[in-house]
Amino acid sequence: RDGVVTANAQRRSFAVNLVVPTAAGPITILRGWGSVDATVQKQTIRFVTTHLEAYSPPHRFFQALELGLSGGPAFTTLPVVLVGDLNSGPDLRDPEPVLSERIDHVLTRGAFAALRARLVGIDPDARTPSGLWPSDHAGVVTTLAL
């Protein structure tokens, strides 16, 4: 967008990832994060996005921990906005999805105020012609102010 300057783009795989044994050998399910520093009106903010392990709570815990440790994207003196799917289970063909869990989150550290938040991807008209939903869960759009 106009007036936004980005710098310090980073991405990494987590040090701890789920390894699934198979007949052909082990398969590592790589998860990771991406971040960027964005400056708007002379205020720099670190944006971080991630998708934590969905099928193993211990792996998910260590991945979340890694985000804030030295070398992790949230280990900064900048204000931080962390967004992501922090746990999910896919079901794109559910004719009437039940939104019973909140798995997408917008987390902040710093002097942020949430002005509004809304769910997206929940309108049945958003499905593809074959009946697939745009995601396996509703997304969250949040407007923040410093």
pLDDT above 70: percentage of residues in the chain:
88
pTM summary value:
0.79
**φ, ψ at 63 (rounded to 5°):** -65, -45
* Contact by Cβ (8 Å): 74, 46: yes
Does the structure show a pLDDT above 70 at 23?
Answer: yes
CA angle 61, 62, 63 (to 5 degrees): 90
Q: What is the pLDDT of residues 51-108, one digit of tens each?
A: 999 889 999 999 999 999 999 999 999 999 999 888 754 464 556 666 555 567 788 8
Task: Please give the pLDDT value at position 89.
Answer: 47
